[in-house]
Amino acid sequence: MASLLDGSMHYENILGNLEVHFQQPVNARPGHVRQAYHGLYSWLVELVYHLLWYRHVHNEAFIGRSPRYLEDIAGLAQQNAPLWIFSLNHDLVIECLAARYGIRLDCGFSGTGTLPLRDSAGNKIGELPISTVPVERLEKAGFDFRNLNESGINLIKIHGALDVFTARDSLDLVKLAPVGDGVGGVLGSLRAANEQLLFAAPGYGSGKVKAIN
């Protein structure tokens, strides 16, 4: 496909182009062709996610040192009630900044819960904390920000993030919650979700099915 060879297009441009193709009506494009575009789209989403995920979880020491370059944002967060940040990025830089300096962070996910973490045999070995917001609420009223008069950061990831997923057949939007303090807690939840949030399936390929991509 031409867009894959176009050096001027970044990955979001390419994914958007593919999405247009597989959403074409049946009378404009045969079903098997639309399915092929959807398959390529899904594969690229998976590839991009893992590239970004790898850069996060395998560079914890570097990311832990990086917030010092963003100390001014931390200062603004302490002076505003709150500081609103709108980000187009998928990374967890702001989340790590808030964790590093102990700044209150609200992403509009007011519900709480846990997901089961399992080993390769399917045995439950722990729980992963999450925050949630119903998609129905999101569509009707937006995110559920509770801290509108407190110092800290209210963060909106316009294009989603590495730690945000849909659940319950897309009825809920889920955001991973830190599993500990500091930058390590933010990256630890991202690592656990990708390595231990799975289901054992002996008859399926690797013997396990991932819960996210």
Arithmetic mean of pLDDT over the chain: 86
Contact 63, 134 (CB under 8 A): no
pTM to 2 decimal places: 0.81
Give residue 32's pLDDT.
72
Q: What is the distance between the alpha carbons of residues 163 and 115, in angstroms, rounded to a whole number? A: 13
- Non-local (6+) Cβ contacts of 128 within 8 A are 114, 115, 116, 117, 176, 177, 179, 189, 192, 193, 196, 197
pLDDT digits (tens, 9 = 90+) for 12-47: 777 777 776 667 666 556 667 778 877 787 888 888
pLDDT digits (tens, 9 = 90+) for 190-208: 999 988 988 877 777 777 7
pLDDT digits (tens, 9 = 90+) for 154-177: 999 998 899 999 988 889 999 999
Q: What are phi and psi of 174, to 5 degrees?
A: -120, 135
- Tell me the β-bridge partners of 164: 175
Q: What is the distance between the alpha carbons of residues 33 and 26, in angstroms, rounded to a whole number? A: 10
Q: Would you mind telling me the total number of residues written for the chain in this entry? A: 213
pLDDT digits (tens, 9 = 90+) for 62-110: 888 887 788 899 889 989 889 999 999 889 999 999 999 999 999 999 9
